[in-house]
Amino acid sequence: MLRIGVDLGGTKIEVVVLDGEGKELFRKRIPTPREYIATLDAIESLVNEAESTLAQKGSVGVGIPRRIELKCSFCVAGVADQIIRLK
C-alpha cells in the first residue's frame, strides 16, 4: 500500500508518495491557496493526481506546522489558522 504525505504550509502544499519500503514514487508542490475550500480542493487534487499517476490507492497523512503551548495543552496560532480556523 502507498503512503501519501501532505505537507500543508503557509506558502506551499507538497505531496510525497512512498511505497511499502520507503522508496519515493511521486512528489509535487503547489502554492497554498488563500481560501479554505480552495485549499481542501488543492489537497484532494494532489492526492488524486498521485493515486492516478501510480494507479494505486494509498493512506493519507497531513502535516500542519503549529506550536504546542505545553502550559495550556493547546495549539498556538500559526500559518494554518487561516485555513483550519482552530482556536
pLDDT attached to residue 86: 40
Number of domains within the chain: 1
Q: Whole-prediction pTM value? A: 0.77
DSSP per-residue string spanning the chain: -EEEEEEE-SSEEEEEEE-TT--EEEEEEEEPPSSHHHHHHHHHHHHHHHHHHHT--EEEEEE---EEETTTTEEE--TTHHHH---
Question: Which CATH number is 59's domain given?
Answer: 3.30.420.40
Question: What are the two backbone dihedrals, phi and then psi, of residue 49, each rounded to the nearest 5 degrees?
Answer: -65, -45
Q: Which residues of the chain have pLDDT under 70?
A: 66-87
* Confidence (pLDDT) at 65: 77
The boundaries of the domain holding residue 60 are 2-84
Q: What is the pLDDT of residue 78?
A: 53
